[in-house]
């Protein structure tokens, strides 16, 4: 579909830069390892339908394809979708995957509305103008009894990190930058508001994890390369308060009950 103006979160034309900046780093590797652990129970379940919203290069939904799940890979960027398809085919996958260049809004406006057993929505909310609407849309796409893997950029961690860095003027501006950077999300999400919106839509949080609870606060940046030690520290504490709440991202596993609960 054609868009005259490129939307925030549309990384068309920079898929390789995106991969190098996000995944080929210690912070990206930490994210992958945490997600692998958190999603293990879903990956071990009976194969079913999976929707990946803002799927990027498809690293996470590839794990589901390898287990025989039927996947819909959706992203705003045509480049990302095409590159993901190439990567999946190179891995001998893609036969059970549908590839869509579409926004969350596009998916909800498709008629008839299709619902999914599992929805993956990672690092998407912080690019959208209205978190409440986005969660309503995700809830509408999820089958009763379905599960949502939701990862979002944490407002509190963004504020805390910038206090540690001494960026007091940035905090005073409400975490608003003077000049936007394309790969940097500009709408960090307040976890308490996400909790409220989930409750409004009768969605139940079953597990909360912090992602990068220590990595981004290291005073000596060389210590970020001590990956095995960092990973061990992360896995030990990132589901425990108060360290969980310091995660640069929050990863929540959420369920839509089969029956409305009082």
* Alpha-carbon span 180 to 73, nearest angstrom: 28
**Structure token pair of residue 118:** 């599992």
Q: Is 147 annotated as a binding residue?
A: no
Q: What is the pLDDT along the chain (262 residues), one digit of tens a residue?
A: 344 455 555 555 555 555 555 667 999 999 999 999 999 999 999 999 999 999 999 999 999 999 999 999 999 999 999 999 999 999 999 999 999 999 999 999 998 999 999 999 999 999 999 999 999 999 999 999 999 999 999 999 999 999 999 999 989 988 887 665 556 787 899 999 999 999 999 999 999 999 999 999 999 989 999 999 999 999 999 999 999 999 999 999 999 999 755 4
Would you say 8 is a known binding-site residue? Answer: no
Q: Is 73 annotated as a binding residue?
A: no
- Whole-angstrom Cα distance, residue 41 to residue 183? 31
Please state the pTM of the whole predicted model. Answer: 0.89
> Is 55 marked within a binding site?
yes
Sign of CA dihedral 123, 241, 142, 45: positive
User: Which domains are present in the chain?
Assistant: 46-255 (3.40.50.150)
Is residue 24 annotated as involved in ligand binding? no
Contact 14, 182 (CB under 8 A): yes
Dist CA 183 CA 18 (whole Å): 7
Concatenating the DSSP letter of every residue in 58-74 gives: -HHHHHHHHTT-EEEEE
Sign for the CA dihedral angle at 208, 102, 75, 177 comes to: negative
DSSP conformation letters of 147-165:
EEEEEEEBHHHHHHHHHHH
């Amino acid at each position: 579909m054609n868009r005259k103006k490129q939307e925030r979160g549309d990384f068309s034309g920079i898929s390789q830069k995106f991969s190098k900046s996000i995944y080929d780093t210690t912070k990206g590797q930490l994210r992958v390892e945490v997600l692998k652990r958190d999603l293990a129970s879903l990956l071990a379940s009976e194969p079913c339908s999976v929707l990946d919203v803002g799927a990027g290069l498809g690293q996470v939904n590839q794990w589901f394809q390898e287990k025989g799940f039927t996947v819909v890979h959706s992203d705003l960027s045509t480049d990302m979708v095409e590159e993901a398809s190439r990567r999946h085919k190179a891995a001998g996958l893609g036969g059970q995957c549908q590839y869509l260049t579409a926004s969350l809004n596009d998916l909800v406006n498709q008629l008839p509305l299709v619902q999914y057993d599992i929805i993956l929505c990672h690092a998407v909310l912080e690019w959208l103008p209205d978190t409440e609407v986005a969660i309503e849309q995700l809830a509408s796409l999820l089958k009763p009894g379905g599960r949502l893997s939701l990862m979002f950029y944490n407002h509190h961690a963004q504020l805390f990190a910038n206090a540690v860095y001494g960026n007091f003027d940035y905090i005073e501006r409400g975490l608003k930058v003077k000049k936007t950077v394309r790969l940097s999300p500009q709408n960090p999400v307040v976890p308490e508001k996400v909790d409220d919106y989930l409750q409004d839509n009768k969605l139940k949080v079953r597990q909360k994890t912090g992602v990068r609870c220590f990595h981004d606060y290291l005073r000596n940046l060389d210590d970020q390369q001590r990956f095995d030690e960092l990973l061990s520290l992360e896995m030990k504490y990132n589901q425990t308060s108060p360290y969980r709440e310091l995660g640069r991202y929050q990863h929540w596993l959420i369920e839509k009950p089969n029956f409305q609960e009082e």
